[in-house]
Structure 1
C-alpha cells in the first residue's frame, strides 16, 4: 500500500549513475515494510496480506462474462467494462495540496515483506547484496524531472505520498499526461477502494531549496505545479487480492494515472517537464543486466525531500510468490516508505526505458522488489492510453 511520503531511490555507483543520467538525458523533450524474519530464505515480497491466488478471482455479478483468470485475452472493451465497474473518481479540489499538506503527508511504505515466498526454489534467487541509496544532485535536469511525488489521502484526515514517473504515451506522442506508479499507491486492494485527492508533483524540490531541513515555498517544492488525476487504473489482481503484506498480488503491483495541470495552461505534462520515458513491456530478462531505481523515500533515515536512487550493476534477482505469475525483479536498496511507485530504469539501445516500479521490501530496508511488466501490464496501459475523455 502507499507509504506515507516515501519513495525508493536507487543507489548509483559513480560510473553507472553517470551513464544512466546520460541515457535519461537523451529522452528529454521529448511505504515501511516489516522485518524479514527469514534472511536465509528467498526474499519475501512485501505486497499483500495473506490471500492466495489459488482461491480464484471474483467479479461483480454484472461482469460474469469476464474471466479474470484469462486476462491475457481481454479486449480493450473488456478492460473498459472492468474499469467502469471499479470506477475511479477523484474528488481533488484545486489547490488542496498546498505547502502545509505536502509537508505533512506521510510516506507510503513499500508493501511489507513479512511472509515467506511459497514458490519452489528455482523461482527465487539468493537475496541481493545491500546497495545504499544516494541523493540525486540538484538542480534536477529535464531527464530526471520525469520523477516526482504522488500525493493522496488515505482517509479524511491523513495525507500520504508515493513516487511516480512520467511515461511516454504512444497515443499522444510528445504530449503524455500519464504517470506510472505502484497499484498500492492508488488503491487499497482487496475489499478496499481508491485513495482520494490523488495529485502528481513532478521534480519535487528540484533546486534543493527544501534540502537540509530548510523552509521552502510551495513554488520551490512544486516547480512544475500540481497535476490532478483525471483517471486511474491498476491491475485487476491487485483490486481482488491486494493487501498489506507480500503475496501473489505483489507480482501485479502496478498502476497508471492520467493527469491534468491545475494551472490550466493547456500544455501536457510531458511538454511541461520536458521529457518522458517509454515503458518496456515484456523485456527479456536476459537483456536486463542492471537496474536503476528512483524514488522519494521519507521514512527514516530519509526525510522525503530528496530524489534518491539505488544503482544495481548486476542482473536483478528473481522473487516470486506464485510460480504461475511473472517473477518480480529484486535489487539491493535501502530506500524506505515514500519511494513506493518510483520507476526502475535500464539502458535500451542508448535510451532509458522503464521496466518496473518500487513495490515491496523488508524492514530495515535492504532490498527492493518490483513487478515485471508483461502482457497484462501492457493491456492495462493500452487501455488508459486509448481511453477517450
Structure 2
C-alpha cells in the first residue's frame, strides 16, 4: 500500500479552471472518499491521480514518487469505473485474466490468482458466464476482481455503485468495506452520495467548485462542519438553516429567528456558543440544527440547554423507524425527527424541543462556522 500526496494541484480545460489548487495527503491504507455535488471536480481529481488526465500545475506523489509524467500503467494503481467496462464477448474468467495474459503471466499463476480473487468476491460459480448473463451487482464484483488481480498499491473507485438499485447499493457498500478491511490497501473513492461517504470512509474530502471545503473523519464532518456548504451537504435530511440575529434578552445570548409571516423564536444559546457570539448585538447569523436535534417535547431524557417552542405541523413524512415533521418558520420548512408514536396530523399545534447543545452557528456573510 502507498500514500498519496497532492501539492497545489490545478487542472484547466481551456480557459475553465476545474481543480483550483488542491493540497491533499492520504495515508497508506486509508479509505478516502471524495464527495460533492455534480460538477464539483471530484472525478477529475481522481483521473489526475490515475494519470488519465494531465495536471496543469502542481505535483502528485504516489508512494513517495512524483508521478506527474508517469503513464497510468506504471503508477501501480487499479481503477473501478461506474460502467464496469467489461468485455461483453469474454467470460468472467477471461475478463479477470485479460491484463495478466497481455503481460505474459504464466497460466498457473493466472489460475491461482483467479481462484483467490473469485473466492474473495464469491463469484466462483460465475467464472464461465459472460457479462450479459450477470446482474449489476455481479458485474461490479467482476470489475473489482479484474482490479484486485493486479495487486496494486492503490485502488481508485469512480462512482462504482451509481448504476445499482437501492438494496444492491447497500449490499455492495458493505462488501467494499469488508474488502478494504481484509486487504488494507489505499482506496480513493468518488461518490455524490453522502451516505456512501459517511459509511465507507476513514476520512472524507468534501469538494465544491474545484476546492476541498473540509477533509476529516466522518464524525467530524457531520458534527463539526467548517461552513454552511459542508453542514448542508452532509446529512439526510440536511441540517436546518435558520437565518437570525444575535440578541441579548434578560442578560442571556439568543439567536432571534423568524420573519414577517411568523412569530419570532429566540433560541437560547448554550454557554460554549454564547461565549463566541455574545457582545455582537445585531450580527446576522445562520442557526443550524439537524433534524435529530429537534424532537417532540418531553420525549427525550432531560438535558441542559433545551429550548421548547410550539408550531403548527405543516407536513408529516413517515419513514419507518422515524417520522419527519415539518413546520414553517423564518420562510423555511424546518424538519424535526420524532418517534412514529409521537407524530400528530398536519395542522396540529405541536410542542417541539430543541437540543441547543447540538446547535451550530454560522456567519451569514462568510458562511464560516462561528
TM-score band (shorter)?
A: under 0.3
TM-score (norm 1): 0.22
TM-score (norm 2): 0.23
Rg larger for: 2
Query: Which structure has more strand as a fraction of its residues?
Result: 2
Query: Which structure has more helix as a fraction of its residues?
Result: 2
